[in-house]
Amino acid sequence: MDKIEHIGIAVKDLEKSNQLFASLFGAPHYKIEEVASEGVKTSFFKTGPNKIELLEATKPDSPIAKFIEKKGEGIHHIAFAVSNINAEIKRLKGEGFTVLNEIPKKGADNKLVAFLHPKTTNGVLIELCQEIE
């Protein structure tokens, strides 16, 4: 596993949160992207070498809607860059982690992504992401 690629934050109102985080970072988001298959709309911010992804649910059965219902707004996942997502999935399964997407799926920001179940990672939802070439 490589560096932290981004941190994902679940928000109720993307427009309001875009303003909030623009004030916080002193720069606006640089991209908005909807991932219809996941029922989320995302926006991305850069601050120094770091990237923050805000996630808003676009339908009631979206994983983000369920997360906010249970835990409220806040940090949703930490994403790590990997160079070979399939090899990493295989390795982590071998280590006993529960991989939620054995076949990586297309995520936001031109990435192939897979998640690890938080019950096997001390309550932290971990995303693996590999840049699509």
Half-sphere exposure of 104 (CA within 13 A, CB side): 23
Binding Zn ion (rule: CB under 5 A), the pick from 57, 68, 79, 99 is: 79
For residue 97, give the 3-state DSSP assignment.
coil
Q: Which stretch binds Zn ion (CB under 5 A): 62-70, 78-86, 88-96, 117-125?
A: 78-86
Q: Which stretch binds Zn ion (CB under 5 A): 13-21, 28-36, 49-57, 91-99?
A: 49-57
Matching residue, tokens 């529960």: 98
Q: Quote the least distance from Cβ 93 to Zn ion, whole Å.
A: 20
Binding Zn ion (rule: CB under 5 A), the pick from 8, 17, 45, 115 is: 8
E-state strands within the chain:
4-10, 31-35, 40-47, 50-57, 74-81, 105-107, 111-116, 126-131
Tokens (6 digits) for 40: 């989320």
Closer Cβ to Zn ion, 52 or 94, answer by number: 52
The residues of the shown chain that bind Zn ion, judged by CB under 5 A, are 8, 53, 79, 127
